[in-house]
Amino acid sequence: MNNLLIWLFLACVFFLIPPEMKFNKLTSEEERVIVYKGTEMPFKGEYYKHKAVGIYKCKRCNDPLYLSSDKFDANCGWPSFDDEITGAVKKLIDADGRRTEIVCANCDAHLGHVFIGEGFTDKNTRHCVNSISMIFESYEVSDTAIFAAGCFWGVEYYFKKLSGVKEVTSGYIGGKTDNPSYQEVCTGETGHAEAVKVVYDSEKVSYEKLVKYFFEIHNFEQLNRQGPDIGTQYRSAIFVENEFQKYQAQRIIEILKSKGYKVVTTIEDANVFWKAENYHQDYYFKKGSTPYCHSYKKIF
């Protein structure tokens, strides 16, 4: 009985704790900025000139806020970003009635302010953020990307033509069996998708560019099919290796939806990529013809 009472007491204490008590413990200076909406000294913040690849997260609750690919140098004294991770930031009228404050959408931690129309980047937006409001999660620069967009013959054909791409391999991913054969995948019962693994030079082409190109070479509004090829093995999917790739892919899908497209593409965690049989590799180049269900259409 005593143990039961203790358990009930602890459960009540846990659920009655105000949400803010469950956030990360802050120093007095972090609290001054994050809770009481202060500003850190310019040119002194940890992330002002920071250039590593990764994700900037809220120091108070660890929710993702910004991608390093959106960071730029505005020479203003604080880290600057021209976009946020979708849904990560809320915009509020500042206490001064003139500026727009930005806060973490999850915990309302004060981040800084957003300014429009300064012309620093094509997006014409600057999120001016206090370094002290963020933590950084780094990622090694990836040189691979995995896409499924119907028959891998056509997908391989177009990615091999893209500048900056070093190698493209046709294969299978996303299924439940090891080392599947083409005949097994074609049944639709293994769960695999026909896909390509793209090895690229990140100095010449970005992951964002690869994702945009992926959408430009197939019909991403067709569910579990591409042209005459029907089945889950022909689904439109992006297989991501980390959060950095996931958030970039999500943003591009949101852009497409804002343009009125009905996107059925899924974002799936990458598991083992199984190389397809040799006769599938470089199929159209060996055959000397062009794809029958893929074509390029500029969207971005």
- φ, ψ of residue 205 in degrees (nearest 5): -145, 135
In angstroms, the CA 117 to CA 113 distance is 14
Long-range CB contacts for residues 257-265, cutoff 8 Å, separation at least 24: 259/299, 261/220, 261/221, 262/221, 263/220, 263/221, 264/220, 264/221, 264/222, 264/223, 264/236, 265/215, 265/220, 265/236, 265/237, 265/238
CA 3 vs CA 7, 11, 65, 178: distances in Å: 6, 12, 42, 48
Q: Is 128 assigned a catalytic role?
A: yes
Count CB neighbours of 263 within 10 A.
16
146: its two tokens: 């995995």
CA 160 vs CA 81, 124, 197, 284: distances in Å: 32, 33, 11, 11
DSSP letter for each residue of 5-71: HHHHHHHHHHHHS-GGGGSPP--HHHHHHHTT---PPTT-STTTT---SEEEEETTT--EEEEGGGE
In angstroms, the CA 108 to CA 294 distance is 45
Determine contact, residues 184/190, Cβ cutoff 8 Å: yes
Question: Per the residue annotation, which of 58, 104, 107, 151 is the catalytic one?
Answer: 151
Question: Per the residue annotation, which of 58, 104, 107, 128 is the catalytic one?
Answer: 128
In angstroms, the CA 294 to CA 240 distance is 22
Determine contact, residues 6/14, Cβ cutoff 8 Å: no
The catalytic residue positions are: 128, 151
